[in-house]
Chain A
Amino acid sequence: MYKTIESSGISKSFGPTKALDEISFSVNESEVFGFIGPDGAGKTTLFRIITTLLLPDKGEIKVLGLDCKADYKKLRKNIGYMPGRFSLYQDLTVEENLNFYATVFGTTIEENYDLISDIYSHIEPFKKRLAGKLSGGMKQKLALSCALIHKPELLVLDEPTTGVDAVSRSEFWDMLAKLRQHKITILVSTPYMDEAMRCDRVALIQGGKILAIDTPQKIREGFSKKLFSARASEKYKLIKALKQFHNTLTAYPFGDSVHVTFMNDTIDDSLYDHLKTSGINDAYITETEAGIEDRFLELMNKPE
């Protein structure tokens, strides 16, 4: 099968900092592929290499079947890149920005309008407004429109939802879902673990290394322990008490409960006795399914 991205052993250092350490992965055509990881994981460096803006120190990478170094000019014509920081011209209007990007790539707004219409229609009523005067959500829609206007085969989105509220994040993913019908391959990075569920496949990345690559479902199933969810009215006390219990392996707050794993994968009376001694009489513990973030935490803790 044709691979949109194929990379093996990519490394990149900045002085003493190893930003990427032997990164290997491939992305299939028309796939929504997510890089999930915190700040400093290496996501932006990797995306800059993929978009031919940076050369790796080591390793092989082909994008759309082309070499990122030798064929960079050809490649750039077929990639749409939305960097993490808003980088459109603030002193041009919405329409001028879009027109500019279209012209640079030798096309027109009209020619590819159907591709961006779902997104651009939201901001079109404000097309005479300066880009610098737009709200965050509108800037994001304009940036996405500009990245798409030349009908790229590969769309690269670097943390499009960072600092964005939960509702706008959800709306953004709805827009990406609609883009799928145009068969564009989408590569996206995010620090929000819940967004993994919106991708076909994801790579969990931390400290320049890939911890796991798979479908979100398979990654969740990779969780190696039985996971329990514990609740009590005094949550901080509960976390502390669970951490002190001799059989506890990990205890992490997760929303309104605490996710716990035990060395022997079971809960018995000794746990409830321990909690009672610690002053918790209303503990309610049930088995639960691991999510992406549970698995991420497990992989982060795994000794190398």
Chain B
Amino acid sequence: MDNKVIKVRNLVKRFGKFVANDNLTFDVHEGEIFGFLGANGAGKTTAIRILSGLLEPTSGEVIVAGFNAGRESEQIKKNIGYMCQKFSLYEDLTVKENITLYGGIYGLKTSVIRNRIHELLEKLHFREYENRLISALPLGLRQKLAFSVAVLHEPKIVFLDEPTGGVDPITRRQFWEMIYETAAKGITVFVTTHYMDEAEYCDRISIMSEGKIVALDTPENLKKQFNAGTVEEVFIKIARPNISPIHNS
């Protein structure tokens, strides 16, 4: 049985002389919550763009949802969901219009879309917002809706790039409960975050530094390995060994 939904072997991505991804090798399993961490500029975004079929690797093998990232990027796009903090929904369309649009893009039947709209609005307690423009929604609601839309077509994997940036602490936690629920359904969640407490919620995390994956394990094992109390300490030890965490000022 092969339950690897992402399989990366010796992935290299160069931009001119600059090596953004330097020989990455890792697997992500079905239904796993995989935290993809790293300092700004470590190469996370490049890797996510390759995994989601938006960018071709320079060399190496990348298989996502059973398809090759270089040759079969269109099939990959059909089998994944994607959301990021900056852009996710069309602000000048209503909630319903956004769901309909994305459903259409993913090739869902009109009747299926209609059902999904109904389910989603019920689940998120969103009824009253159905005909509201996205721009008029509070950020927290917007992000929850964006996530729901990203998994509308029940993809094998959903990529979340800093989904909770700037979101209030309650919504942030509700968002993570949605992530848990999604993973429990067998959808793999591939997530980046700058909130180190959120890294602890992941099944496994990888930490990138200067284009390389320098650590990859469960949060528990990484803390043991680096003799650290929290993932934040692990992160700091890896990224810059001579710095104290935020709270030990």
Contact = CB atoms under 8 A, between A and B. Distances in A.
A239 B184 CA distance: 14
A162 B165 contact: yes
A53 interface: no
B43 interface: no
A136 B243 contact: no
Contacts of B139: 38-40
Interface string B55-90: 000000000000000000000000000000100000
Contacts of A33: none
Q: For the side of the interface on A, what is the size category? A: 35 or more
A167 B240 contact: yes
Nearest to B179: A236
A129 interface: no
B16 interface: no
Contacts of B176: 253
B243 A197 contact: no
B194 interface: yes
Interface string B155-178: 000000010011111110100110
A269 interface: no
Interface in A232-252: 235-236, 239, 252
Interface string A283-304: 0000000000100110011000
Contacts of A192: 195, 246
Q: For the side of the interface on B, what is the size category? A: 35 or more
B119 interface: no
A168 B249 contact: no
A236 B196 CA distance: 18
Contacts of A254: 197
Nearest to A195: B246
Interface in B113-167: 138-140, 162, 165-167
A284 to B, nearest CB: 13
A136 B169 contact: no
Interface stretch (A98-106, A109-117, A143-151, A169-177): A169-177
Given A167-B236, A167-B239, A198-B246, 6 more contacts: A136-B41, A162-B165, A163-B162, A165-B40, A255-B231, A256-B200
Give the 3 A-B residue pairs with the shortest CB-CB distance, closest first: A38-B168, A39-B166, A255-B197
Interface of B: 38-41, 85, 138-140, 162, 165-171, 173, 176-177, 180, 184, 194-197, 200-201, 219-220, 230-232, 235-236, 239-240, 243-247, 249
20 contacts: A39-B166, A163-B85, A165-B194, A166-B235, A166-B236, A166-B246, A167-B236, A167-B243, A169-B194, A170-B243, A171-B243, A177-B249, A191-B165, A191-B167, A195-B246, A197-B249, A236-B184, A256-B230, A297-B170, A300-B168
